Structure 1
């Protein structure tokens, strides 16, 4: 049966001595070195009782070792569960319990907080540090450099990615080997990646963009990555001459444009700049092209599907659109109320179908049935229109999801924290445009008894409960929230007022 995902992305490179990861500060790891160390992690975990299908949760800083653990999970048949490094202990407790993770890998600084949480559900805890006596890395590197790859099929689960909804708790989107493999194949073809490419990688790897798009595409093509810990404008500009491609969120490109050293001459060797995870403003498109001569290639995806559409590599990269369906992916627009088709050019809810679409939400069959139609189409919740030439334009969201700097912010989660604070009668969180992050959360508050709330205390409460990217950038006080005749808060009116 073999292991299609491992064999295609990793296994064929086992004896490849060419560079795979070019590291910050110098140095590099070849494919062979990377995979030998990954195999040691696989052997170490398997030797401590983990079995195929077990979930491995990981909340660590970006590093080559973190990426090795992803490869080890694929090779050993574990289900990989990357978690945002900004998640609080409260948030982590839910993910560990809900997923049934058998192992949690965390940074040493989080060990004291997360160990009691993990032990409540029987999960073991390991801390990941690049070196040091007794660390996971040091102990794993004592294992053999060869590990017998575990047989898995295309329908076996490879990863969980948690995504929230406007109501209820976060949902674990189950992604199979086929989901990840088919998407990597489509993107390599669409974006023309080859073994000659060097991708400048400044994205996090707990997110599908940095992991399942950037890393899987590079592995599929056999290219290399300049593997930076994060986005630092000076370091990106310094390493840019070594690269041929870059993937980023709009924030990366707006910050590069703020530097006078980012010019056409500095980018003349580049083949492609790709943007996603949040809407790219038409103004950013124009400024980028005027400054560098490059037209950013924008695409569209989501946690449950990875990538769905892309502007073409050859052809018109149309600002304001997310391009055309990827090979093997079908898109359609349906009326939000009736589910019936709408004519070309009219707005409705976007639905997608293809080998990239997830199999459902972990232990949530009712929610899965709500969002996956019997014919296999996934209801994205995004409002879109499809032109006669097939270009897809996202015009809004049926649900009030906010995408800030590439990360999903779900208003209900923030509102629950705000509403539970003394002095707050009720709240509404909306997304407002932001040139740097695409959009950012704004909180509209109604105070109890008309008394001014203590905003400093409120900010502290939010910081204790929620990851930084979920924090409101502004707080506005109103006498009452606007409602329709059914009592539903009219967030459209709030966006018109405060946006």
Structure 2
């Protein structure tokens, strides 16, 4: 049990116990509004129990892997909680995966039961998987829609009627805080995706701390556009809301105008996201047509968050509180957070300081020796938030976690004397030009200061004479007149010559994954082709 800061007693450390606790604490208060479907916290607990009994009727047992391949929805939350109530491990799948990519994850994770929808970005999931070999997969359930060969959500829930209530209660109670709760796969942008295992207790300890630190409240209306298959949408999203009793508004697909309309209609107060989310709102030509005045709390983070973006979030979009944070899937989603009372420069220029109970240092990646404060090094983390390991990949786990428990993040950062961390880049994004290390985030930060630049991403590409050179992809702001020479001149005026991009591409948009992160692998391919 974990002490709760609002005087409501001890917070449970497993998913089924948390859902029951939340129903007792928040009762008839709105938990989820998804279209015309409203669930109170009491309703959510009953729905979770019904789904759990239905899984039991299907034969799901503790330790089984249950995958969810679907956009954000109320059913997604109910299904996840239902499966976790039996001690099953929830495996989340990126909604943009192809059939072959999804099948690879389902196969390597040993998934027995799949919950999906009738249609995803790449097509009908049942069709996409029809030719794939998945001998472990026993059943497919559709959270919405209908498809031959899959059980409907309604038919699935009806199975609960035949489940033994006493057996279900015993199964709930048998779930331990140390049991694995989920398996989230890394993005795979730098190699084969790996399944990260985290426990119930890790999830709750981390996101009680996260929620308290950023200032999430029970009276917040929380619009979750971050996808549930990612820790930002799942753990910092609906799980954090469940802990605090906030109202959850899932958004299945990003549409800028629909997003702003939802903020106005539901008086949204909490809107986290990648920097690109706020950039797109700020650059929307029709933004003034919507009332966004309810926005209170914004949480963002990236290798580089522009100072101007943080200022615009407060001064233009009206956020009362803006904080930046840093984390990765392998750290249960969180490593550092700014505090709401930090000064604007700290919030803009750092990712905050390490969460309580966790150690952090910046080291020489070869020797593991800690670098002096103010000097760049690889970020290493140790504490209760470090993953249990990569599923069925002991060598990769040993490579990521040292013998004495330090997680090698692969990120480059600088820690100041106060303990505040500034992420400067990904170790693997760094490129070397004429023997000099170039960190793309530093170049991106510079180029964002050029008037007329809405978004920018920099990558390194091979060059015969110089090893690697920079390529900058720039999205001009609406109505701005930019050319390649102006971008290069701005870089030359503000950066050492070896950091100035050799190539500049003016583009309409940047390729993003479903979490709003720039797909630099795609940009490298585009630059190489050009």
- State the Cα deviation string for residues 168-217 of structure 1 (Å, max 9, x = none): 52211111112211111111210222221211212211111000111111
- 1:250 match: 275
Aligned residues of 1:353 and 1:376 also touching (Cα < 8 A): yes
Deviates more, 1:383-392 or 1:155-164: 155-164
Number of the residue aligned with 1:79: 89
The gaps in structure 2 that reach 5 residues or longer are: 2-10, 119-123, 432-439, 465-511
In the alignment, does 2:40 pair up with 1:17?
no
Q: How does 1:449-460 map onto structure 2 within 5 Å? A: none
Cα offsets for 1:212-246 (capped at 9, x unmatched): 11111100001111222233222222232412211
Q: Is the 8 A contact 2:353 2:419 kept in 1?
A: yes
Partner residue of 2:114 out of 104, 107, 122: 104
- What's the secondary structure of 1:4's corresponding residue? coil
Equivalent position SS for 1:247: coil
Instruction: Decide whether aligned partners of structure 1 residues 47 and 250 sit closer, same or farther in structure 2, where only a CA change above 3 A counts.
Output: same
Out of 308, 320, 323, the residue aligned to residue 335 of structure 2 is 308
Deviation of 1:9 after TM superposition, in Å, equals: 3.1
CA contact (8 A) 1:360 1:368 kept: yes
Say if 1:364 and 1:384 are closer, same or farther in 2 by CA, change over 3 A: same
Distance change in 2, residues 1:260/1:368 (3 Å): same
Whole-Å separation in 1 of the counterparts to 2:297 and 2:38: 23
Match of 2:152 among 119, 125, 136: 136
Greater relative contact order: 1 or 2 (C-alpha under 8 angstroms, separation 6 or more)?
1
**For each residue in 1:395-438, what CA deviation from the matched residue of structure 2 results, as whole angstroms up to 9, or x when unmatched?**
11222399xxxxxxxxxxxxxxxxxxxxxxxxxxx999597776
Alignment of 1:407-418 (within 5 A): none
Structure 1: give runs of 5+ residues left out of the alignment: 403-429, 447-465, 479-497
Shift of 1:443: 6.9
CA contact (8 A) 2:461 2:527 kept: yes
Residue number in structure 2 paired with 1:275: 300
With the length of structure 2 as denominator, give the TM-score of the two structures.
0.74
Matched, 1:216 2:239: yes
Question: What is the match of residue 472 of structure 1?
Answer: 522
Instruction: Give the whole-Å Cα distance in 1 for the aligned partners of 2:256 and 2:189.
Output: 34
> How many residue pairs were aligned?
431
Q: Distance in 1 between matches of 2:178 and 2:391?
A: 15
Distance 1:74 1:207, change over 3 A: same
The two structures, once aligned, show a CA RMSD in angstroms of: 3.2
TM-score by length of 1: 0.78
Matches within 5 A, 1:95-494: 95-108=105-118, 109-117=124-132, 119-130=133-144, 135-144=151-160, 147-148=168-169, 149-163=172-186, 168-241=191-264, 242-259=267-284, 262=287, 266-276=291-301, 279-294=304-319, 296-305=322-331, 306-317=333-344, 318=346, 319-400=348-429, 433=444, 439=457, 470=519, 472-473=522-523, 475-477=526-528
Cα distance change on mapping 1:220 and 1:321 into 2, 3 Å: same
* Secondary structure of 1:120 counterpart: coil
